[in-house]
Structure 1
Amino acid sequence: MSFIRAVKSEAGLTYEDLALLGKASRATYQRAASGRILPRLETVQEILTLCGRKNLDADSERATQLWRNARCALRGTQNLPCPVLSSSRMKQT
């Protein structure tokens, strides 16, 4: 399970709940957790905030590092395996 999906699941929120509380659409949040794309970092950070993470600073730092690793892997700038932010099938949009 991806970090994003785990955070959402632990909070007991649906993608519709996120859309009602946040700035993006249900589809945007669903794509962010799907593993098929690399979401915008701002979207990842918003999901953490909306899910009411108790240790937001640590979770935000972890999410940012996973996002950076995934971006580097997609760009081929580092020889890193894709992290489990979403999945190894990510493509950048």
Structure 2
Amino acid sequence: IKSIDEPLHFETFISLTCQKCPDVVQALNLMSVINPNITHTMIDGAVFKKEAEDIMAVPAIFLNGEKIGNGRKTVTDILREISQSPDASG
């Protein structure tokens, strides 16, 4: 996590009733605390309905505006997604 030297902005759409969402939010928040190049915004789909229109399942994870996954993810899973994502370079 510390070696990431490019800006990565994550957005996670969640539902307050989602049981998987807290794990993903905590993982991304942890990453953003460890590395200042990483930012994370949690978005409650019930509050921001217009933004969440096309989202069918939560948590929905976006990296630099592109969807990279749904469902429960660990820090290891997220790092794997970053390494495979062409959008990781912004």
Pair in the same fold by TM > 0.5: no
| Higher-helix-fraction structure | 1
TM-score, structure 1 normalization: 0.29
Between Structure 1 and Structure 2, which shows a larger proportion of strand residues?
A: 2
